Amino acid sequence: MISRTLLRMENRYLTGKERSDLQGYLTTARTRRSALDEARRTSVQIADNVITNMRRRYPQFAQHRPQGFDKGHRDLVLLTHMTANAMFLGETDTIDDMFTHWYKSILKGVHLTPQFMNDTFTLWLEGMEKTFTETTYDLMRPVAEHMASMLSDLPASGKDEIGERRAAV
Amino acid sequence: MNTWFSEIVKDTNERILSDQELERIMIYYGGMPARLRASEEVEQLEGELAGTLFGELKKKFPKRTLYGRRLVQDVLESLRTMAQAMLADEPKLFRLRWMNHMGRVVEELDLDPSEIQDIYALIQEKAAAKLSAHSRELMQPYFDELAESLTPAAVSPALSR
């Protein structure tokens, strides 16, 4: 938030609202730092749980994509880290410019169904809620929901590269 | 343009912020309330300067024709960039957005750099009386660098920055 706000200033001083937003953000900086540390410590565990559940729900997926779950695990750790960075910085515009739009184009290219993405992100959000302390989850949730909403908004693919979907186990 | 902060953020694409990067940012955040206060004080000072600077310069340097209201206004606007750079803790921002431009104007118009330097000296004099000690301390490096770039021997090198 700070970096973006200051670079936006062109030949002017901060507005009253910008100043008060920055002051409000600064009072939360230490808590955000701790939350980022917690996200770093637990990101692999969260990804483990999501992938375990997704293997049960989509038992044929690995036949279509032998490395799909491993790549998905790697991406979920990355996604949790990028979400933590955005939470720490207090804004999502930067992560969207650098990462979200690019990653969404990758997801479009691999023909995952919207339902598959919804299931993944639902498990990811639930995993964060179960794993994080309440304070960390409260800080991470708005950014995580933003990421889940952006990244699951994909067109339906004509190809079936997912296989059977079983009810939640 | 990038600041040290935005460069850190760009470098962390596809990885989490490191402890070292977080430490640097947290130290900066710790000093941010003082920077915000300094920026507010400079903003208040600008209001006062706008009304008095032109008259005082005329009185102090009656033979200099350069000292019109427009120039004074430009100089006051440079204070905003100075405050912005101080807020970002990024001298490069002030150099790129103001000092390089000023250096070119001084050279192209064949101006005597001391005529510009004297305006900033007067602003600093006013700032010394109006800004709190900590705000002066935060702004001082920017005034110093600007004064240095306007010493006759430094005008040309300033262009190459």
The predicted pLDDT at position B154 comes to 59
Residue A20 inside a domain? The answer is no
Q: Please tell me which of the candidates A7, A14, A81 has its beta carbon nearest to residue B15.
A: A81
- As for the ipTM of the complex, it is 0.88
Q: Please tell me which of the candidates A26, A84, A94 has its beta carbon nearest to residue B16.
A: A84
Residue A158 inside a domain? The answer is no
The chain A residues in contact with chain B (CB within 8 A) are: 2-4, 6-7, 9, 11-14, 19, 22-23, 26, 29-30, 33, 36, 39-40, 43, 78, 81-82, 84-85, 88-89, 94, 98-99
More confident residue, B120 or A52: A52
Q: Is A11 left (phi over 0), alpha (psi -120 to 50) or beta?
A: left
More confident residue, A115 or A37: A37
CA distance A142 to A127: 15
Token reading at A88:
């720490």
List the single residue in B with minimal CA-CA distance to A93: B9
Report, as ranges of residue numbers, the positions in chain B whose pLDDT lies below 50: 158-161
Task: State the nearest Cα–Cα gap between A169 and chain B, in angstroms.
Answer: 32
- In this complex, do A7 and B6 lie within 8 Å of one another by their Cβ atoms? yes
Residue A15 inside a domain? The answer is no
| Contact partners, residue B93, CB within 8 Å, separation at least 6 | B1, B3, B81, B84, B85
Task: State the nearest Cα–Cα gap between B80 and chain A, in angstroms.
Answer: 6
What is the number of other CB atoms lying within 10 angstroms of the CB of residue A57?
A: 18
The predicted pLDDT at position A50 comes to 97
What rounded mean pLDDT belongs to chain A? 92
- In this complex, do A19 and B26 lie within 8 Å of one another by their Cβ atoms? no
The predicted pLDDT at position A37 comes to 97
| Parent domain of A74 | 33-152
Structurally, how many domains does chain A consist of?
Answer: 1
Residue B73 Cα to chain centre, angstroms: 14
More confident residue, B127 or A51: A51
- In this complex, do B22 and A94 lie within 8 Å of one another by their Cβ atoms? no
DSSP E strands in chain A: the ranges are: none
The predicted pLDDT at position B153 comes to 58
Q: Please tell me which of the candidates A11, A85, A94 has its beta carbon nearest to residue B16.
A: A85
Residue A126 inside a domain? The answer is yes
- In this complex, do A13 and B83 lie within 8 Å of one another by their Cβ atoms? yes
Residue A106 inside a domain? The answer is yes
Name every chain B residue with its beta carbon within 8 A of the beta carbon of A12: 80
Token reading at A132:
């994080």
Residue A27 inside a domain? The answer is no
What would the pLDDT profile of A96-115 be if each residue is shown by its tens digit? 999 999 999 998 888 888 88
- In this complex, do A6 and B3 lie within 8 Å of one another by their Cβ atoms? yes
- In this complex, do A36 and B16 lie within 8 Å of one another by their Cβ atoms? yes
Total CB pairs under 8 A between chain A and B: 73
Chain B interface, best mutation among A1, A6, A76, A82, by max B CB count within 10 A: A6
CATH of the domain at A50: 1.10.490.20
Q: Helices then strands (H, E): number in chain A?
A: 9, 0
Token reading at A63:
């036949």
The predicted pLDDT at position B158 comes to 47
What would the pLDDT profile of A128-158 be if each residue is shown by its tens digit? 999 999 999 999 999 999 999 999 888 876 6
The predicted pLDDT at position B160 comes to 44
